[in-house]
């Protein structure tokens, strides 16, 4: 019987397909043809409830830094000039320009003392009439022109340095967005060209000394003007001078980048006019039309503009197109599937095309979920203040650690939105999620998941496969030992793995399956009858290797270093009457295998029995984490992102699991860990844990001990500080002392002068004290790193925004 991801006891399918935990109302399975129009999302796409799906689909989503909400993102306006920067730069430019004009005017009039001395020093004396700088011939005249050009260049350089023109250009022009930056630079370039070539534009003004000095210098070097008899040489010089004048404005205006951006926009336009004519252009699938698939684009456009597609449908079809586009062979299948199923193409195996309800704002085209808004705080850079904060698989792929006390909002404002986002991603075929929490934790309704496992609950439809559908006893022993004794320092995990493998291998060889919890517990305790029966069954020659494994286990049983009793004691936590109908590979239940997550976009929720079975819950959490890290490692080229969410990761992390978490970012997988305090992790693992995860989140209410770990992980930065010291002014003159006394009498303050010291110091980004005492309720400090290595510093987030 094909088990489809939640297989029955006798199923052996290696890559099962998920089935819903609760069958869709009014439907027995996925539709074979285009069904009735799906319900619109319980919350409209984007942030505006009035936004139609077509408008949402067509909204711009520029590339931004990690953690910023990309949907309809607009960069903030330039920061207001709080310290008079504009006025200071303008005054500096005007004063330096006036001084330059004054000097150049005096130079042109010959009023600068000794202004010709350098010229006569570096030129032959027979070029000039005695006692003057009047040239005798063309060479002297050309030398004066070149000299004027050199002085003009020196004046320009000096004016630019004195007036801080580079800073002013950077402030007023370069930091502006395109095309305003290119337009301003172009206007300035036209003005300068008009001053260099005024006669060509019909202007009756003296040109700037740029062209004539170049020609005069070439004439001096060539020994005459015969070189300019060639029209080609003259035209080439004109072109080179023009390009040299334009080059600074090309750099300032970013002309090449503006041209590339314009070409990119033009290339994204559809080759043929979109049909139907109504709706935004992006809603007519221009990428399909550009590839020549107009019929498929017309069908999808009609569905989208007609309001029959929701955001899940759009994201699912767009993902299918991105997957098929690089492969010419897959394009024909794509077009055929769209023609047959329309908006219902590639529907999730559960038949679901949306969640029953949404508690957060999602953008499925980018996979983002909004978790709040960056606070208007001086610690946050101006560019992100009041911008929406978001998470996506790119940052979750480096794993996230969230620390905060109970009631700080870890579950409601982080775990549930992330689980909801990944569940929506699963419906589009891009994600698989396993959300683990205590029974009653608000991680979403049962209808929002394909599989809901409730160990210890007699009404649970599904069970947990302790062995994750393994065929290799060594692999099953590895993650089972990690779950049972990985947190015990007195038991060596390697010896525990060997002990389990010596029992699991022979049992599977004899029975074709792994043992149930009671049977495995008896074998670990060294039950003579159980070991004897297992040995008798392996007496045949085909099981020689397994018989040798079992004999080694029998010899080690009862030795001082035998990990068997410790394994049996931990396994006894699951051998309780409440779990009698669970964890039995040969039973009648429907065990869920973690291996299905590596093969299918599955939505799973596991409710751990916290009340009365706390130790068993911690054991199961360790088991699920160990299984997850093993199964995702076995299929590194998985097309979808896999994520494990542990709402409470207390006493779950071990040395091996922390190592495994660090390797997940290269396996298209990640984990989200929630802790009330970092003290719930063994102290030797606290530092490696902060190093293993790429995203860290400190909620309001953390202690200074927890804050210290975040401070160490976030490091320091260089900041500029100003220290103002006030010194009393003591006057020597009687009149001045009288004025100072009168001023003190009126104002009540002595006359002082301010001494300002500006310096750069290295300080912590967030101190432990600030994290413990300065975070307002409903806020958190979040730092992010995505799988490409892009980094966002720790920023204050208002989780209520």
What is the C-alpha to C-alpha distance for residues 624 and 617, in angstroms, rounded to an integer? 11
pLDDT tens per residue, range 414-438: 999 999 999 999 999 999 999 999 9
The model's confidence at residue 9, banded by pLDDT at 50, 70 and 90, is very low
Residue 219 near residue 241, CB atoms below 8 Å? no
Sign of the dihedral defined by the CA atoms of residues 493, 494, 496, 497, in that order: positive
pLDDT for the residue numbered 80: 62
pLDDT for the residue numbered 239: 86
CA-based nearest residue to 436, from 697, 715, 773, 672: 672
Angle between helices 294-305 and 328-341 (to 10 degrees): 40
Query: H or E stretch including 268?
Result: helix 255-268
pLDDT for the residue numbered 112: 80
Sign of the dihedral defined by the CA atoms of residues 732, 735, 738, 742, in that order: negative
pLDDT for the residue numbered 274: 41
pLDDT for the residue numbered 278: 53
Q: When comparing pLDDT for 185 and 678, which is higher?
A: 678
Asked if the model's pLDDT at residue 41 lies above 70, the reply is no
pLDDT tens per residue, range 123-167: 787 777 777 777 777 777 778 888 888 888 888 888 888 888 888
Rounded to the nearest integer, the mean pLDDT of the chain is: 84
- State the DSSP code for 290: H
Q: When comparing pLDDT for 739 and 640, which is higher?
A: 640
Sign of the dihedral defined by the CA atoms of residues 330, 331, 334, 335, in that order: negative
pLDDT tens per residue, range 517-539: 999 999 999 888 888 888 888 88
Worst-scoring range by mean pLDDT, 15-19, 25-29, 403-407? 25-29
Q: Among residues of the chain, what percentage have pLDDT more than 70?
A: 90
CA-based nearest residue to 625, from 658, 602, 600, 599: 658
Count Cβ atoms below 10 Å from residue 319 Cβ, excluding itself: 20
Most confidently predicted of 92-101, 183-192, 209-218, 640-649: 640-649
- State the DSSP code for 171: I
Count Cβ atoms below 10 Å from residue 327 Cβ, excluding itself: 11
| 764 three-state secondary structure | strand
What is the C-alpha to C-alpha distance for residues 399 and 159, in angstroms, rounded to an integer? 53
What is the C-alpha to C-alpha distance for residues 249 and 184, in angstroms, rounded to an integer? 9
- State the DSSP code for 767: -
Q: Give the CA-trace dihedral at 555, 561, 565, 570, to 10 degrees.
A: -140
What is the C-alpha to C-alpha distance for residues 695 and 685, in angstroms, rounded to an integer? 17
| 596 three-state secondary structure | helix
* Mean pLDDT of all residues in 675-680: 94
pLDDT for the residue numbered 19: 41
The model's confidence at residue 33, banded by pLDDT at 50, 70 and 90, is very low
Residue 70 near residue 390, CB atoms below 8 Å? yes
What is the C-alpha to C-alpha distance for residues 446 and 427, in angstroms, rounded to an integer? 15
* Mean pLDDT of all residues in 330-346: 90
* Mean pLDDT of all residues in 443-472: 92
Worst-scoring range by mean pLDDT, 19-23, 227-231, 712-716? 19-23
Which residue reads 């004519």 in tokens? 277
* Mean pLDDT of all residues in 314-333: 90
CA-based nearest residue to 267, from 283, 288, 290: 290
Q: Where are the beta strands (DSSP E) in 421-481?
A: 431-438, 451-453, 463-464
The model's confidence at residue 636, banded by pLDDT at 50, 70 and 90, is low
**Token pair listed for 171:** 């402030």
* Mean pLDDT of all residues in 386-413: 95
What is the C-alpha to C-alpha distance for residues 357 and 420, in angstroms, rounded to an integer? 9
The model's confidence at residue 267, banded by pLDDT at 50, 70 and 90, is low
Asked if the model's pLDDT at residue 545 lies above 60, the reply is yes
Query: CA separation (Å) from 634 to 350, 596, 599, 629?
Result: 25, 12, 10, 9
pLDDT for the residue numbered 265: 58
Q: When comparing pLDDT for 177 and 408, which is higher?
A: 408
pLDDT for the residue numbered 758: 82
The model's confidence at residue 557, banded by pLDDT at 50, 70 and 90, is confident
CA-based nearest residue to 507, from 541, 465, 474, 550: 550
- State the DSSP code for 776: P
- State the DSSP code for 76: P
Q: Among residues of the chain, what percentage have pLDDT more than 90?
A: 45
Q: What are phi and psi of 124, to 5 degrees?
A: -60, 145
**Token pair listed for 730:** 């003591």
The model's confidence at residue 51, banded by pLDDT at 50, 70 and 90, is low
Residue 567 near residue 484, CB atoms below 8 Å? yes
Query: H or E stretch including 194?
Result: helix 180-196
Q: When comparing pLDDT for 20 and 516, which is higher?
A: 516
264: which residues sit within 8 A by CB, 6+ positions away? none
**Token pair listed for 175:** 């930091």
Q: When comparing pLDDT for 690 and 240, which is higher?
A: 690
Q: What are phi and psi of 300, to 5 degrees?
A: -65, -35
pLDDT for the residue numbered 507: 92
Sequence spans of domains, the chain: 82-175, 179-253, 472-577
What is the C-alpha to C-alpha distance for residues 315 and 365, in angstroms, rounded to an integer? 5
The runs of H, that is alpha helices, within 328-472 are: 328-341, 393-396, 410, 416-427
Query: CA separation (Å) from 771 to 711, 784, 794?
Result: 9, 17, 11
pTM of the full predicted structure?
Answer: 0.75
Asked if the model's pLDDT at residue 309 lies above 70, the reply is yes
**Token pair listed for 566:** 């410790």
DSSP 293-343: -HHHHHHHHHHHHTT---HHHHHHHHHHHHHHTT-HHHHHHHHHHHHHHGG
Asked if the model's pLDDT at residue 452 lies above 60, the reply is yes
What is the C-alpha to C-alpha distance for residues 145 and 468, in angstroms, rounded to an integer? 87
Three-class DSSP labels, 695-762: EEEEECCCCHHHHHHHHHHHCEEEEEEEEEEEEECCCCCHHHHHHHHHHHHHHCCCCEEEEEEEEEEE
Residue 354 near residue 312, CB atoms below 8 Å? yes
Omega within 30 of 0 (cis) for the link into 179: yes
Q: When comparing pLDDT for 93 and 65, which is higher?
A: 65
**Token pair listed for 232:** 């080609």
Most confidently predicted of 233-242, 366-375, 588-597: 366-375
pLDDT tens per residue, range 72-110: 898 887 766 555 677 888 888 888 889 888 888 888 888
What is the C-alpha to C-alpha distance for residues 27 and 39, in angstroms, rounded to an integer? 14
pLDDT for the residue numbered 266: 58
Omega within 30 of 0 (cis) for the link into 276: yes
Query: H or E stretch including 641?
Result: strand 641-646
Asked if the model's pLDDT at residue 455 lies above 60, the reply is yes
Q: Note the Cα 378 to chain centre separation in Å.
A: 23
**Token pair listed for 540:** 């045949």
């Amino acid at each position: 019987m094909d088990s489809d991801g939640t297989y029955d006891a006798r199923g052996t399918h290696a890559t099962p397909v998920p089935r819903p935990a609760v069958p869709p109302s009014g439907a027995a399975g996925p539709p074979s043809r285009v069904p009735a129009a799906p319900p619109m999302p319980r919350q409209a796409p984007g942030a505006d409830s009035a936004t139609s799906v077509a408008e949402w689909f067509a909204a711009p989503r520029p590339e931004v830094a990690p953690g910023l909400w990309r949907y309809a993102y607009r960069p903030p306006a330039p920061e207001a000039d709080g310290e008079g920067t504009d006025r200071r730069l303008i005054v500096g430019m005007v004063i330096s320009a006036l001084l330059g004009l004054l000097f150049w005017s005096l130079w042109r009039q010959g009023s600068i003392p000794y202004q010709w001395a350098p010229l006569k020093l570096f030129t032959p004396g027979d070029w000039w009439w005695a006692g003057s700088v009047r040239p005798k011939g063309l060479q002297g005249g050309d030398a004066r022109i070149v000299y004027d050009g050199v002085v003009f260049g020196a004046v320009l350089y000096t004016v630019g340095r004195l007036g801080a023109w580079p800073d002013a250009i950077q402030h007023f022009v370069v930091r502006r967005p395109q095309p305003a930056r290119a337009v301003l630079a172009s206007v300035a370039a036209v003005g300068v060209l008009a001053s260099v070539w005024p006669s060509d534009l019909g202007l009756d003004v003296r040109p700037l000394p740029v062209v004539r000095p170049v020609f005069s210098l070439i004439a001096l070097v060539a020994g005459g003007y015969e070189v300019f008899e060639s029209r080609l040489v003259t035209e080439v010089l004109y072109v080179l001078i023009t390009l040299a004048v334009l080059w600074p404005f090309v750099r300032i205006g970013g002309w090449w980048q503006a041209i590339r951006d314009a070409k990119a926009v033009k290339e994204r336009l559809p080759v043929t006019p979109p049909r139907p004519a109504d709706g935004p252009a992006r809603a007519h699938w221009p990428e399909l039309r550009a590839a020549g698939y107009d019929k498929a684009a017309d069908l999808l456009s009609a569905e989208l503009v007609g309001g029959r597609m929701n955001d899940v449908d759009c994201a699912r079809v767009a993902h299918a197109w991105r997957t098929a586009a690089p492969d010419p062979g897959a394009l024909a299948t794509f077009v055929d599937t769209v023609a047959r199923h329309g908006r219902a193409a590639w529907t999730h195996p559960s038949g679901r095309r949306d969640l029953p309800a949404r508690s957060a704002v999602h953008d499925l085209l980018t996979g983002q979920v909004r978790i709040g808004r960056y606070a208007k705080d001086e610690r946050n850079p101006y560019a992100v203040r009041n911008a929406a904060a978001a998470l996506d698989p790119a940052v979750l792929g480096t794993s996230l650690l969230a620390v905060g006390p109970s009631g700080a909002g870890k579950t409601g404002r982080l775990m549930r939105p992330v689980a909801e986002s990944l569940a929506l991603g699963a419906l589009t075929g891009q994600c698989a999620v396993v959300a683990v929490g205590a029974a009653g934790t608000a991680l979403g309704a049962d209808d929002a998941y394909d599989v809901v496992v409730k160990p210890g609950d007699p009404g649970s439809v599904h069970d947990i496969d302790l062995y994750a559908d393994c065929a290799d006893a060594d692999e099953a022993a590895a993650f089972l030992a990690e779950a049972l004794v990985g947190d015990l320092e007195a038991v060596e995990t390697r010896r525990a793995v060997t002990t389990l493998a010596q029992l699991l291998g022979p049992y599977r060889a004899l029975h074709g399956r792994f043992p149930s919890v009671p049977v495995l517990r008896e074998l670990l305790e060294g039950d003579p009858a159980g070991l004897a029966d297992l040995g008798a069954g392996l007496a045949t020659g085909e099981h020689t290797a397994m018989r040798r494994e079992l004999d080694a286990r029998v010899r080690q049983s009862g030795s001082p270093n035998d990990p068997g009793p410790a394994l049996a004691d931990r396994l006894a936590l699951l051998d309780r009457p409440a779990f009698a109908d669970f964890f039995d590979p040969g039973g009648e239940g429907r065990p869920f295998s973690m291996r299905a997550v590596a093969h299918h976009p599955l939505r799973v929720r596991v409710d751990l029995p916290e009340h009365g079975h706390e130790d068993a819950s911690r054991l199961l959490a360790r088991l699920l984490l160990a299984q997850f890290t093993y199964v995702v490692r076995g299929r590194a080229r998985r097309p979808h992102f896999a994520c494990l969410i542990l709402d409470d990761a207390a006493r779950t992390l071990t040395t091996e699991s922390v190592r495994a978490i660090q390797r997940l970012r290269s396996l298209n997988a990640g984990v989200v860990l929630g802790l009330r305090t970092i003290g719930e992790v063994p102290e030797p693992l606290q530092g490696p844990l902060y190093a293993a995860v790429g995203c860290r989140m400190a909620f309001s209410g953390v202690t200074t001990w927890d804050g210290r770990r975040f401070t160490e992980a976030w490091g320091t930065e260089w900041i500029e500080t100003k220290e103002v010291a006030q010194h009393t002014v003591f006057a020597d003159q009687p009149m001045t002392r009288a004025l100072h006394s009168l001023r003190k009498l009126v104002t009540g303050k002595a006359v002082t002068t301010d001494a300002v010291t500006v310096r750069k110091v290295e300080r912590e980004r967030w101190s432990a004290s600030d994290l413990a005492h300065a975070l307002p309720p409903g806020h958190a400090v979040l730092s992010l790193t995505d799988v490409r290595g892009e980094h966002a510093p720790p920023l204050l987030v208002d989780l209520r925004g």
